[in-house]
Amino acid sequence: MPPQMATLPRLDHLLKSNDVEDPVNRYVHRTLAYLFVKSVFRTPITPNMITLSTIVLGFAAGCAFLWGTPAAMLAGGIGLWAASILDGADGILARARNLQSEFGRALDGAADALVAVFTVFPAFYHIWVTRHNPYDLALMVPALGLTVVHVAMYDFYKESYLRATRPDQGGEGRDADDIDDTVEAASSKGLIMRLAINYALVPHLSRQKALVHWLNRDAWSLSQLVESNGEASEVYRKHNLGPMRLWALVSLAPHSYLMAICAMFDRLELYLYIRVFLMNGVFLVAVAWQRYATNRTIRDLGGVDAMRAGGGRQSFVT
Chain-centroid distance of CA 93 in Å reads 17
4 falls within a domain: no
213 falls within a domain: yes
**Each residue of 146-182: pLDDT tens digit?**
999 999 999 999 988 998 888 666 556 555 555 555 5
CA angle 180/185/191 to nearest 5° reads 120
Number of domains in the chain: 1
Please provide the DSSP assignment of 248-269 as one string: HHTSHHHHHHHHHHHHHTT-HH
80 falls within a domain: yes
36 falls within a domain: yes
Q: Specify the pLDDT at position 182.
A: 55
Q: Specify the pLDDT at position 3.
A: 42
Is the distance from CB of 112 to CB of 57 less than 8 angstroms? Answer: no
- In this structure, the number of other CB atoms found within 10 A of the CB of residue 9 comes to 12
CA angle 201/205/207 to nearest 5° reads 120
**CATH code: domain of residue 212:** 1.20.120.1760
How far apart are alpha carbons 239 and 150 in whole angstroms?
21
**Each residue of 3-59: pLDDT tens digit?**
445 689 988 888 878 899 999 999 999 999 999 999 999 999 999 999 999 999 999
41 falls within a domain: yes
Question: According to DSSP H, which parts of 201-303 are helical?
Answer: 202-215, 217-225, 230-249, 252-264, 268-273, 279-300
CA angle 214/298/166 to nearest 5° reads 95
1 falls within a domain: no
How many residues appear in the chain? 318
2 falls within a domain: no
- Counting beta carbons within 10 angstroms of the beta carbon of residue 6, is it exposed (0 to 12), middle (13 to 18) or buried (19 or more)? exposed
Biggest alpha carbon distance in the chain? 63
- Give every CB contact of residue 198 below 8 A, 6+ residues apart in sequence: 183, 186
Q: Specify the pLDDT at position 228.
A: 45
Q: Specify the pLDDT at position 313.
A: 42
Q: Specify the pLDDT at position 295.
A: 94
Domain that holds residue 291: 10-316
From the list 154, 162, 159, the residue with the least C-alpha distance to 282 is 154
- Give every CB contact of residue 47 below 8 A, 6+ residues apart in sequence: 90, 91, 93, 94, 97, 99, 104
Percentage of the chain surpassing pLDDT 90?
A: 60
Q: Specify the pLDDT at position 13.
A: 85
137 falls within a domain: yes
pLDDT in tens, the chain (318 residues): 444 456 899 888 888 788 999 999 999 999 999 999 999 999 999 999 999 999 999 999 999 999 999 999 999 999 999 999 999 999 999 989 988 776 677 788 889 989 999 999 999 999 999 999 999 999 999 999 999 999 999 999 998 899 888 866 655 655 555 555 555 555 556 666 666 666 666 777 788 888 998 999 888 778 766 654 456 788 899 999 999 999 999 999 999 999 999 999 999 999 999 999 999 999 999 999 999 999 999 998 876 555 555 544 433 332
